[in-house]
Amino acid sequence: NQGKALRNAAVLIPVVDHEGDATVLLTKRAEKLRSHSGQVAFPGGTIDPTDPSPEAAALRETFEEIGLGRDGIEIIGRMPDYVAGSGYRIAPVLGIVRPGFQLTLNADEVDAAFEVPLRFLMDPANHKRDSRMWNDLEWFFYDMPYGDRRIWGVTAGIIRTLYERLYA
Going from N- to C-terminal start, the domains of the chain cover 7-166
34 pLDDT band (50/70/90 cuts)? low
- The answer to whether the beta carbons of residues 13 and 93 sit under 8 Å apart is yes
Residues 100-158 pLDDT 10s? 999 999 999 999 999 999 999 999 999 999 888 877 888 888 999 999 999 998 999 99
**What percent of the chain is predicted at pLDDT more than 70?**
94
Handedness of CA 23, 94, 156, 129 (dihedral sign): negative
Strands 88-97, 7-16: pairing is parallel
DSSP string, the chain: -TTSPPEEEEEEEEEE--TT--EEEEEEE-TT-SSSTT-EE-SEEEPPTT-SSHHHHHHHHHHHHH---GGGEEEEEEPPPEE-TTSEEEEEEEEEE-SS------TTTEEEEEEEEHHHHT-GGG-EEEEEEETTEEEEEEEEEETTEEEEHHHHHHHHHHHHHHT-
Span 54-91, pLDDT tens digits: 999 999 999 999 999 999 999 999 999 999 877 889 99
Q: Taking residues 15-40, what's their average pLDDT?
A: 84
At residue 3, does pLDDT exceed 60?
Answer: no
Return the CATH number of 7-166, one of 3.90.79.10, 3.40.50.720, 3.50.50.60, 3.80.10.10. Answer: 3.90.79.10
Say yes or no to pLDDT of 33 above 70: no
pLDDT score of 2 more than 70:
no
Q: What is the pLDDT of residue 37?
A: 63
